Structure 1
């Protein structure tokens, strides 16, 4: 007989009618829950859920205290819930009364702590100091790549790396008559990492070259949004200056970009070089000018140095990807507690991925500081879902095969756990993509649930560091903001140490409380903000950048 305090299963909320298996439980196992003996009717894999009582077809299923699905067929007591016997369902929502009272966490351990950052003239503080080289239109991607090849290694911003040695080995095996089977079974010797050239600009963390497939040929609203996003990156506290390449005739005009920059920073004073190929003439002249002007800009921003800043200057993006059945009970609540600490200290946090807030709209709208903010959130959620449904795929289609395999059966189950990243503080502001964060506290930003698109948007809104939870593992990073990868379980942390930075599996195993893990994580965040620790995504050069085309992307 298994008892709940043995940490083999968990009831997340007292009103839930399903329990979460914390480890694999075979059919026939008898579990004790609140004086009731439940015999498992099926094998229940860790992270999956089983019923406390028998359910009839149409009965509601509750997790995290909210409706997350309905039984599509009868489910016996102790039966595992699956995509075959449960379908997505969520409560409706309407404008309610304000519920902004909340219990602030004890922040005494962090009240006087600071981080070493780059202070900008607009009052923001960066956790890094990057130069950007970006195209206004996809036509300039090749020129961006040419500049990247010319500059990165020569200026000491990249180590020679690749798999050239492995390719040589494969060619040698082919030339010596090895069979396909022998080649497939060969143990290739890894290419030794080369030595980087001496770094020329010691106070510049890197030059980041971005590519995208937008700027022309799509809708004007998409190109305008692209200009807003790029303006968010140029004015970002982690960016010291930028070089922009424009063809000249595209929808995303330099004038639109400059207007968007002024919206975000009316007194913008960073070095900014905008070069138009159709005005300059030859490609070589464009590239020569880009090289000279970028180099001159780097000389200028290399004079900037890190200085102490209060934690209130941190703006942390809250993301998740490759989620599993433990996300909502370990890593996401830890981020939520950390979020509440930062908000209490006067900092900002950004909760995005609107398709993954389906089912918790009422709670979040009630937590909005005023009715206009609540109405904006509800309107964005309804409009987004209606557009998705019109194209044949509503929020219900959000969970990926990997999510489902690891226990997130419906979008409402996934969403209720994902929302835990936002903690319990009031919602200070609701932003539509690609708006900028201007208020301290919890901000809701409308983005897709797609990992890279959402992370790209959150950083564009001003987040100078991103905390990214994952239960299955994902290498997602960002060009200008350090992305800290947080595992929901220890198995993942041990299996993928090359991409995971921080383990919250300790919460599942009972080694740490959510509060203890959040304190340990915030100490880690400070070390990253200082530039002392480089997260794995930064080490790997995981510079993912995908602007959101405002069509449907879940």
Structure 2
């Protein structure tokens, strides 16, 4: 059998990955043995290179990913019927981690064409933000969105509105001009403020009715978004009586930016009285804010100002072999340049905790990571959940049988550099280097947190295709296989699939993906998520999500 039909990821592994569909009776020749398949093995799934008895541990990526629940013959496929989640224990240690950074000498003279804020932060975009402090202001935010987007030339769904206008006109004028002949008469987007990338409108279901802890966390999250270098300023809507009060938000903003260098305009409905007075005031102040934001223009900034958040969603059995390690190599290059990487999704670090603990630069960070992981487990248990529930039906169908197997591949998107800081949600990353951020595995909740932590680019790997974006941070989708890149070309920005069939090598693709990050951060490339207006934003309510 050709060696590119299967892959042994780590020398210590006793599971092999099928890179193509393999048939019962085929023989797989490994360096130290040959294995005959006892059943068909689907592409992306794994098979045993030796036999296992019930209770024996299975290894992939060099770590424990599960335990046999029944006898597994050599050459048999691994499934939920014969394996269950298991991972090894971990403990903080005093080991010293040695890292060999990649050669980035060719990148050092390069720059971003970015927005530099008064506090020195560097943004890859220039937005004005409209946020509600409580869910009962969502309608007012939506009214502002409807009122402003078309007028300012920022609508992303104009093609659909134009189609609707065309069809409505056709039905009203039966027998008149054709749709194609009349299309040119409909309005098109024309930006009013050329240096402003858009007005972003956040909505959520929080701010009142929950715990005081939730309200404080929401205010800290919103403050992090307003503080973000991609944001020039904000319009904040409040009702007045909710838990998430304006002073809490202001205190959180002062913690992040003591000089309060950005304009923030507050509108409290119960103080204004009539909705019309509130909305007219909000619209006028938002236009003033946009005029202020338009004074910024792109200028050169060093690549050390890149802050790359990493995420995976809709993962498949190839994600840990192509897209995730590819993203990890980009993160290593950014860190070597003096930049920042942010790795979240704590439920998807289950089983690789010891590796990350060993990479922490201090005993304080080791203890903090251990404590946050254990606290997360307790929060999950309090609502009747556990990490082994993380893999979705789609993950399992595409070869990710246990959470530890999924985690071992997911963690590779964090690269190999030392861990310089460990952050709790929704803290902001302040130290260059690799940061661990406590977030759930939920795609939108996690990307929401990565943006709040200060990521100015998010690299998002997907094996099945995930239409997720962020309101203020460009999200670049990296497919683990070329089939998804072809079928879902409207959401995929970069194809890591050639790694699987041996056409391309990871270092070569990493250079190209880093170039795409630079182009995106400089405004030369607009991500597919931005083009589609995928402005996903969901605050995390602690202990609910995996």
TM-score by length of structure 1 reads: 0.94
Indicate the residue corresponding to 2:539 in structure 1: 547
1:534 aligns with 2:526: yes
Match of 2:358 in 1: 366
Matching residue of 1:411: 403
- Note the alpha carbon deviations across 1:303-353, whole angstroms, 9 max, x for none: 110000011001110000000111111011111111111111100010000
CA distance in 1, matches of 2:55, 2:508: 40
Q: 1:69 aligns with which of 66, 69, 82?
A: 66
Matched, 1:14 2:18: no
Question: Does the Cα contact within 8 Å between 1:98 and 1:370 map onto a contact in 2?
Answer: no
Shift of 1:101: 0.9
Aligned equivalent of 1:440, options 428, 432, 440: 432
Question: Equivalent residues in 2 for 1:490-529 (5 A)?
Answer: 490-529=482-521
Deviation at 1:460, TM superposition (A): 0.6
Cα 1:217–1:321 shift into 2, 3 Å = same
Please list the CA deviations of residues 488-509 of structure 1 after superposition, one character each: whole Å capped at 9, or x if unmatched.
Answer: 0001101100100000001111
User: Separation in 1 of the partners of 2:536 and 2:6?
Assistant: 37
Structure 1 runs of 4+ off > 4 angstroms? 163-170, 191-195
Tell me, in whole angstroms, the C-alpha distance in 2 between the residues paired with 1:100 and 1:131. 42
Number of the residue aligned with 1:180: none
From 98, 102, 105, give the equivalent of 2:102.
105
Instruction: Write the distance in 2 (CA, Å) between the matches of 1:511 and 1:268.
Output: 51
Alpha-carbon offset, residue 167 of structure 1: 11
Query: For residue 150 of structure 2, what is the aligned residue in structure 1?
Result: 153
**What residue is the counterpart of 2:139 in the other structure?**
142
Counterpart contact for 2:352–2:408, Cα < 8 Å: yes
Map 1:297-376 onto structure 2 (within 5 A).
Answer: 297-376=289-368
What 5-or-longer segments of structure 2 have no aligned partner?
172-179
| Corresponding position of 1:82 | 79
State the match for 1:276 in structure 2: 268
1:173-211: per-residue Cα shift (whole Å, max 9, x none)? Answer: 9xxxxxxxxxxxxxxx9x979653321100000000110
- The answer for the alignment partner of 2:176 in structure 1 is none
Deviates more, 1:361-370 or 1:405-414: 361-370
Given the two structures, how large is their TM-score scaled by the length of structure 2? 0.95
Q: 1:391 aligns with which of 378, 383, 387?
A: 383
Higher mean C-alpha deviation, range 507-516 or range 59-68: 507-516
Q: Which segments of 5 or more consecutive residues in structure 1 lack a partner in the other structure?
A: 174-188
Q: Does the CA contact (< 8 Å) of 2:382 and 2:543 recur in 1?
A: no
Q: In structure 2, what is the equivalent of residue 218 of structure 1?
A: 210
Secondary structure at the counterpart of residue 162 of structure 1? helix
Q: Determine the C-alpha separation between the residues in 1 that align with 2:448 and 2:311.
A: 11
Work out whether residues 335 and 341 of structure 2, in 8 Å CA contact, stay in contact via their aligned partners in 1.
yes
Alpha carbons 1:11, 1:19 under 8 Å: kept: yes
What SS class does the counterpart of residue 283 from structure 2 fall into? helix
Aligned to 1:162: 160
Determine whether 1:249 maps to 2:253: no
CA contact under 8 A between 1:437 and 1:461: conserved in structure 2? yes
Residues 35-89 of structure 1: per-residue CA shift (max 9 Å, x gap): 4221111111111000001111111100000000011000111000000000000
